[in-house]
A and B are shown apart, each in its own frame.
Chain A
Amino acid sequence: MVIDDEKIVVDMAKMALEHDGYVVETFLDGEAALARLKEETFDVVVTDFKMKGIDGMEVLRTVKDMYPKTKVIMITAFANLDTAIEALRGDVFDFFPKPVKIKELKASIERALEK
């Protein structure tokens, strides 16, 4: 699952990951993503940190409550140490500032799936 309030990010992530054979669902806001999470489990959730409405931290908390085994990877345009620390405390699997190298994101997803 990939969540970002910008179409460009979810589109690129979807194409890049599907190209490698992953099954990907994308969402442009946290609300829709959490609604979907009630119906289906995902191995990995990649979410933007800062979004209108339900933000990345809330997605992280909800996912961890519902599916403790699901790994959450956080990406954000506002890269600073505080955000990273806050996210890491919330049991985030990995954290990337945008622009993020697709290869690194894929490697992180790969690691998340191995665990």
Chain B
Amino acid sequence: MKRAVEPLPPFGELFNKFREVLASHNKAVEMIADMGEKLGGEYLFDTNYIERAYAELSTAVWGSIKSFDAFTRGRYPNLMDAFIRIDNRISDMMSNTASTSGEMIVFREDTLWDMYYEVGGKNAGLAEVGNMLKLDVPEAFFVTTHAFDGFITFNGLSERVEALSKTGSVSENDFAALRDAVIGSEIPVTLNDAFDNAIRKMRAKCGVGCSVAVRSSAEEEDGKLSFAGQFDTVLNVPLESTAIKEAYKKVVASLFSLHSIAYQRRFGYDARKMKMAVGCVAMVDAVSSGVVYSIDPSGKKENVLISANWGLGKTIVEGLVEADIYRVKKGREPQILGTRCGKKESMTVLLPGGGIDTIVTPEDMRGRPVLDSEVITDLAVRAQSLEKHFRRPQDIEWAIDRDGRVFILQSRELRLGDGEGERCDSVVKSLALKPTLMRNKGIAVQKGIGSGTVFVVKTPDDVRAMPKGAILVSKRDFSVFVRIMNDVSAIITDIGTPTSHMAALSREFRIPTIVNTDDATQVLSNGMEITVSIDDEGSAVYEGLIGEEQGCNDAKAPSVTEGHEYLRKRYVLRHISPLNLIEPLHDKFKPEECKTMHDILRFIHEKSIMELVDCARHKKASLRGYTAVALDLEIPASIVLIDMGGGLVKRGTNANNVARKSATAAEIASIPLKAIIGGMGYPGAWHNEAVPLRMKDFFMSMTRMPDIHSTSMSSPIQNVAVASRDYVNLSLKFGYHFNIVDCYCSENPRNNHVYFRFSGGATDLVQRSRRVQFIASILKEHGFTIWTTGDLLIARLANIGRVRMEEVLDQLGRLIAFVRKLDALLRDDAAIEYYAQRFKDGNYELMEGGGKG
């Protein structure tokens, strides 16, 4: 049923409502930015602050929806529903009563994006890859944290879990006893039934002979922290009730181990509160598998790094073999830069009745690269789309089945240590005098300097005897190394890959690490004093110790933003800040798709402006009595001017202004508009020529709709100025970005204000945010108060005289014109300053490679 659309109110009234929408919208956006800043890791905050700030924000968003509703005459009733849905979610979160569906088991396809509390981070990630990105992922069902709670309570284990909190008093034996208790526990009847139903359904999907991988998915696994290799996975479990339930218990039990507790404690997790969801994921009978990093952790962000081996991925993530390594340059058509064919001594295969085996790789397969160029580029493309979707570098596990189908098994944020790799001079000098034992051997995983005594590890249990501050040298890597991560100075292995679980942990703990050196255990022996140095130029192992490295190296303590309490409290932001509704012409640009408060505000903003533009473009009835003319300017800015009175110079005494179709710049009487248009048309500021786009940007812009790069602006008018003599409200959309100016400019300085809002762009977020920084640096010079977050900028200036205001608006006009295509040229931070200086000097030329050298 369609709602009857009320007739439009007179334009003046409509416009006032529009301004109300903008004002409430802006206030809410600023609150989000402020919350983001306060919760960004630079402030100490408490729950009280979050509650207070959110209460204010939710009131502001609600107010914004109400005025939007009045402006659009109730055309988007679903927006309030979206608000209520998101608000409930946040309120539940804040009161720690995160509502769950109450389901014991959820299938992958029924898992919604925000069910990470119930299905755990890893499972939620898999669901998102399959459900949202539509990439091939295996069929799966997830046993929820709700089921976990029931299981623990039913078996009377809660008190024993509680006892874990007594730091120091819990031994490995206590953990072993608790694990045994979990494994010996009974599955409650309701969970038992849920398992049986899920198994039946799964058989119907994948066949009776199907088997699954039973994997951990702790509440926050694969969130900000990887938990790489911390918990058990049972591979190739027959899809049969007893086997699945036994595997479930085994995975749950792995939550309780000394090394995983050590990991959790480091980041401030409370082991008592950790909940384990479990995923039962159809087993891919893999011909080959591996890991893709969407950026090369050795520092080349433009490259993708792929590691691969025959069979299942276990050999790669556990660092058991010297795998193939492929480096690929990103782009729509990725280019393979280099292939390093590993020895691939062993491979993991499925056993027919269940379980797996690691076998010696047949001779003819060892020297042969695992992947051909087609698959390599395909993986690189997938990695890029995952990175784009999750907006963070990704660590992706993949497998290819016997039919050649590529499956994504897991995608999580790739953690990269930053800031390391720079050496101070004293260390460089000191190292230069020492004999070199190894140079540029193996693959650098984490940069830094570590100095200490060699401790060779032959079995995982050996690590217990490792002295504090030692350099761990091992044949291969083991994820149990996490136990000693706090005490180790560096790690070197004979074999391994930079994409293993241990490598992920080395980066998380910022331990200088080299893997795959081939012969470290032969070159280095117990008790040797050595120094490991890994930086941008390469890696080296020197004889002897250096003393000064502490002064040069960052402390290894985790940073504030890695703390569990911090991350948990910050969760509310997931429902507040991220922007998912990006492209207005996309069919998903609707209230039902709003996932965050920011989405709601974005929707309001876009639709309000379009409503106004639509009114101007079609000269709707409400405009009766107002003059609406297309501005005939020297620049193709396609602006419609709606005159609220005094905005246009009258033509003769009897001219019928209402009938006018167009007006020139000279006919603008609105003081602020005239100044802005004058600036936009300033010689050289507006560029008609196309700016060369790099492939990445071109690729990015292809995924969006309007064409900013065409030199003509033949697209329908999407720009509107509402003006009177002293006032203008200007909404400009050029390609993918918005400018809004709201300005009052009269003889009385106390009434004068200018508000400028800029957002969006066609290039990637980094370049867009550089453009925003550029704009901020210019406007600051003119006395504006600036707010920026990501690619959004809000600038204000008030209480200045008319003449000064006109000067400012002229500069603002030049800026609006000049930055239209600038983001594409801001390839590094130096370019910001370069163009800012040129702009200040009145030089508006755009140069490819500006700011280099």
Closest CB of chain A to B824's CB: distance in Å?
A: 35
Chain A residues with CB below 8 A from B45, complex form: 8-9, 98-99
Chain A residues with CB below 8 A from B555, complex form: 18-21
Chain A residues with CB below 8 A from B268, complex form: 7, 11, 15
Binds B, one of A31-39, A61-69, A80-88, A100-108: A100-108
Q: Are B557 and A12 in contact (CB under 8 A)?
A: no
- Say yes or no for B47: interface residue by CB 8 A criterion: yes
- List residues of B (515-565) whose CB comes within 8 Å of A's CBs: 555, 557-560, 562-565
Chain B residues with CB below 8 A from A105, complex form: 44
Residue of A6, A11, A21 near B563 (CB, 8 A) is: A11
Closest CB of chain A to B56's CB: distance in Å?
A: 14
Residue of B42, B46, B557, B559 near A8 (CB, 8 A) is: B46
Q: Are A99 and B563 in contact (CB under 8 A)?
A: no
A interface secondary structure, majority: helix
Q: Are B558 and A8 in contact (CB under 8 A)?
A: no
- Say yes or no for A29: interface residue by CB 8 A criterion: no
Most buried by B among A7, A21, A75, A101: A7
**Chain A residue total in the interface (Cβ 8 A):** 23
| Distance, CA A75 to CA B46, complexed state (A) | 11
Map CB proximity to A onto B11-53 as digits: 1 under 8 Å, 0 otherwise: 0000000000000000000000000001001111111110000
Residue of B49, B563, B564, B566 near A98 (CB, 8 A) is: B49
Residue of B46, B47, B560, B569 near A15 (CB, 8 A) is: B560
- When A11-B566, A15-B562, A77-B48 are in contact, do A101 and B42 touch as well, CB less than 8 Å? yes
Chain A residues with CB below 8 A from B38, complex form: 99
Chain B residues with CB below 8 A from A6, complex form: 46-47
B interface secondary structure, majority: mixed
Closest CB of chain A to B679's CB: distance in Å?
A: 37
| Distance, CA A102 to CA B561, complexed state (A) | 12
Closest CB of chain A to B808's CB: distance in Å?
A: 31
Closest to A7 in B: B565
Closest to A78 in B: B48
Chain A residues with CB below 8 A from B44, complex form: 9, 12-13, 16, 75, 98-100, 102, 105
Q: Are A12 and B560 in contact (CB under 8 A)?
A: yes
Q: Are B43 and A100 in contact (CB under 8 A)?
A: yes
Q: Are A102 and B47 in contact (CB under 8 A)?
A: no
Closest to B35 in A: A99
- When A15-B557, A15-B563 are in contact, do A102 and B42 touch as well, CB less than 8 Å? yes
Closest CB of chain B to A57's CB: distance in Å?
A: 18
Closest to A100 in B: B44
| Distance, CA A9 to CA B560, complexed state (A) | 11
| Distance, CA A103 to CA B566, complexed state (A) | 17
Q: Are A8 and B560 in contact (CB under 8 A)?
A: no
Q: Are A18 and B557 in contact (CB under 8 A)?
A: yes
Chain A residues with CB below 8 A from B47, complex form: 6, 8
Closest to A77 in B: B48
Map CB proximity to B onto A34-76 as digits: 1 under 8 Å, 0 otherwise: 0000000000000000000000000000000000000000010
Q: Are B559 and A15 in contact (CB under 8 A)?
A: yes
| Distance, CA A20 to CA B44, complexed state (A) | 16
Q: Are A12 and B559 in contact (CB under 8 A)?
A: no
Chain B residues with CB below 8 A from A20, complex form: 555
Closest CB of chain B to A22's CB: distance in Å?
A: 10
Chain A residues with CB below 8 A from B46, complex form: 4, 6, 8-9, 77, 98-99
| Distance, CA A87 to CA B596, complexed state (A) | 40
- When A8-B569, A19-B555, A21-B555 are in contact, do A102 and B48 touch as well, CB less than 8 Å? no
Q: Are B49 and A77 in contact (CB under 8 A)?
A: yes
| Distance, CA A103 to CA B43, complexed state (A) | 8
Map CB proximity to A onto B568-579 as digits: 1 under 8 Å, 0 otherwise: 010000000000
Closest CB of chain A to B475's CB: distance in Å?
A: 33
Closest CB of chain A to B94's CB: distance in Å?
A: 13
Chain B residues with CB below 8 A from A99, complex form: 38, 43-46, 49
Closest CB of chain B to A98's CB: distance in Å?
A: 6
| Distance, CA A18 to CA B267, complexed state (A) | 13
Residue of A12, A16, A100 near B565 (CB, 8 A) is: A12
Closest to A18 in B: B557
| Distance, CA A102 to CA B268, complexed state (A) | 18
Task: Identify the A interface with B (CB < 8 A).
Answer: 4, 6-9, 11-13, 15-16, 18-21, 75, 77, 98-103, 105
Give 22 pairs: A residue, B residue, CB < 8 Å, sorted on A. A6-B46, A7-B268, A8-B46, A8-B47, A9-B45, A11-B563, A12-B44, A12-B560, A12-B563, A12-B565, A12-B566, A13-B44, A15-B268, A15-B559, A16-B560, A19-B555, A19-B560, A98-B46, A99-B45, A99-B49, A100-B43, A105-B44
14 A-B pairs besides A13-B44, A98-B48, A99-B49 with CB distance below 8 A are: A8-B47, A11-B564, A11-B566, A12-B563, A15-B566, A16-B559, A18-B555, A77-B48, A98-B44, A98-B45, A98-B49, A99-B38, A100-B43, A105-B44
